[in-house]
């Protein structure tokens, strides 16, 4: 029946381990094509976007094997072929295959990646950057025909720090002749993780995570085994869930150093975080260790509102947590304003929250949220991945029963949200 049933209104109590990162494993699956042999990935989340990507890789001649959260990919018999339409078209991440297929084979045909309800999702920045490295890209009715027999290093400046365009340039640059300098590159932790993976295969990359990434092309890469980092967006989702529903939870394997903007927002709401890495030094400086740790969260249940938050490229507040934040602010005291500055249509979930009793007014790229204290259970529809997660947050905080339909959107990025919500003390069942 593809829906979740949540009985809300009680404070949370429990603990959950954070899954591997969706937005790290997808570009890394593309990067695995660069090596003509076996790649082993650990801590891969069991989400439908990974399953779709594996089907696409098979369409290009790879063999793949999943053993729990371990993935084994053999790209030895990779051919340019053609991605299975029904997968590549529905998933945005398929565009990231362009850089790796050109880097490995010098040619590719790729169906256009799916757009989605959050925005048109154009790929002009990808195409412009790859052309500067010598790629010939023909936009045909069903997709993009690409040829690039001898990719050349180039100095490229992105007009916007696009995550996907940054990833595509790095993937092609690893096998290009000479050095590529990418300016105004995306700084997201998923870029750093992709570069860490590529360097573990023998790539030569500097500046990952800064605005300027330098890649010196290499002749060959070697086998690697790699463990995917935890998912900062899933961690942030469960932090905002706790804020909204109240209670005391433990989150394990949290990449805290990647969540500074979220931690600041939670503090503003009156949510307390404790964890061994959180003891700042006396003078208040000191960097958090860049390794996942366990976090204790305490939320009073009725959180403080009156916040003004704008989404921004990393290290700003992540656009992927904008809907979960909006859901949490619906239960806060006071009026808050959330501004979406990355995607042009990412407020669709507000309509469903309003049906649950939320007081939200959308004006262009800004949402004004007046905390009503209590939402009520309703029949609602997920429209896309993070909006669906936001509805789970609202349902856990609402009085009464909520059914969330189109659950499959949530399964694209959350390995088993039913398992996780139950572990945190939410009364939830699959319809």
- CB 246 to ligand EPZ: min, Å: 26
Which residues, including other chains, have CB under 8 Å from residue 6's CB and lie 6 or more apart?
Answer: 377, 392, 395, 396, 401, 402, 403, 404, 421, 426, 427, 428
- CB 118 to ligand EPZ: min, Å: 6
Cβ proximity to ligand EPZ, 133 vs 273, nearer residue = 133
Question: Where along the sequence are the contacts to ligand EPZ (CB under 6 A)?
Answer: 22-23, 26, 92-93, 119, 121-126, 160, 162-165, 190, 319-320, 342-343, 385-386, 413
Cβ proximity to ligand EPZ, 8 vs 164, nearer residue = 164
For residue 297, what are its two tokens?
Answer: 């969260």
Q: Are 57 and 100 in contact (CB under 8 A)?
A: no
> Half-sphere exposure of 281 toward its Cβ, with a 13 Å CA cutoff?
6
Q: Which of 44, 62, 116, 330 is the catalytic position?
A: 116
- CB 65 to ligand EPZ: min, Å: 23
**Active-site annotation holds for 116:** yes
- CB 166 to ligand EPZ: min, Å: 8
Cβ proximity to ligand EPZ, 12 vs 33, nearer residue = 33
* CA dist 41 → 69, 171, 356, 413 (Å): 8, 18, 41, 18
- Which of 421, 424, 238, 430 has its CA nearest to residue 327? 238
Cβ proximity to ligand EPZ, 162 vs 265, nearer residue = 162
- CB 314 to ligand EPZ: min, Å: 7
Cβ proximity to ligand EPZ, 45 vs 377, nearer residue = 45
Query: Looking at beta carbons, which residue is closest to ligand EPZ?
Result: 164
The DSSP output letter for 426 is -
For residue 77, what are its two tokens?
Answer: 């018999």
| DSSP string across 43-103 | S----HHHHHHHHHHHHTT-EEEEETTEEEEE-TT-------HHHHTT-GGGGGHHHHHHH
Provide the edge-to-edge strand list for the sheet that holds 38-42. 63-67, 70-74, 38-42, 224-227
- The residues carrying an active-site annotation are 116
């Amino acid at each position: 029946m593809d829906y979740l049933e949540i009985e809300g209104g009680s404070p949370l109590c429990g603990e959950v381990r954070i899954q591997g990162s969706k937005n790290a494993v997808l570009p890394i699956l593309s990067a695995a094509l660069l090596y003509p042999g076996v790649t082993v990935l650990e801590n891969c989340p069991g989400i439908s976007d990974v399953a779709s990507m594996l089907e696409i890789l098979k369409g290009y001649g790879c063999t793949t094997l999943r053993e729990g959260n371990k993935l084994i990919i053999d790209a030895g018999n990779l051919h340019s072929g053609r991605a299975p339409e029904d997968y590549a078209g529905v998933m945005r991440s398929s565009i990231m295959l362009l850089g790796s297929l050109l880097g490995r084979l010098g040619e590719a045909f790729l169906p256009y990646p799916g757009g989605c309800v959050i925005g048109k999702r154009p790929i002009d920045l990808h195409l412009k950057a790859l052309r500067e490295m010598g790629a010939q890209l023909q936009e045909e009715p069903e997709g993009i025909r690409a040829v690039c027999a001898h990719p050349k290093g180039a100095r490229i400046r992105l007009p916007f720090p696009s995550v996907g365009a940054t990833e595509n340039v790095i993937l092609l640059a690893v096998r290009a002749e000479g050095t590529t300098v990418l300016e105004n590159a995306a700084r997201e932790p998923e870029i750093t993780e992709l570069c860490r993976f590529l360097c573990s295969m023998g790539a030569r990359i500097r500046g990952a995570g800064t605005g300027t990434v330098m890649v010196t092309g290499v002749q060959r890469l070697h086998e690697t085994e790699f463990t995917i980092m935890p998912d900062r967006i899933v961690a942030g989702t469960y932090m905002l869930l706790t804020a909204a529903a109240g209670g005391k939870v433990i989150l394990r394997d949290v990449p805290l150093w990647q969540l500074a903007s979220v931690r600041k927002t939670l503090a503003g709401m009156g949510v307390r975080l404790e964890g061994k890495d959180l003891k700042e030094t006396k003078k208040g400086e000191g960097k958090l260790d860049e390794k996942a740790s366990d976090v204790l969260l305490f939320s009073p249940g009725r959180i403080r509102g009156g916040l003004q938050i704008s989404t921004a490229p990393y290290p700003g507040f992540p656009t992927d947590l904008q809907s979960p934040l909006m859901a949490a602010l619906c239960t806060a005291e006071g009026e808050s304003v959330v501004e979406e500055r990355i995607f042009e249509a990412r407020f669709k979930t507000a309509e469903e929250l309003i049906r649950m009793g939320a007081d939200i007014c959308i004006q262009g790229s800004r949402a004004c949220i007046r905390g009503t204290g209590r939402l009520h259970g309703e029949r609602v529809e997920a429209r896309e991945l993070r909006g669906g997660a936001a509805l789970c947050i609202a349902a856990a905080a609402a009085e009464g029963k909520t059914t969330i339909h189109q659950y499959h959107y949530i399964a694209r990025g959350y390995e088993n949200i039913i398992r996780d919500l139950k572990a945190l003390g939410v009364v939830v069942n699959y319809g």
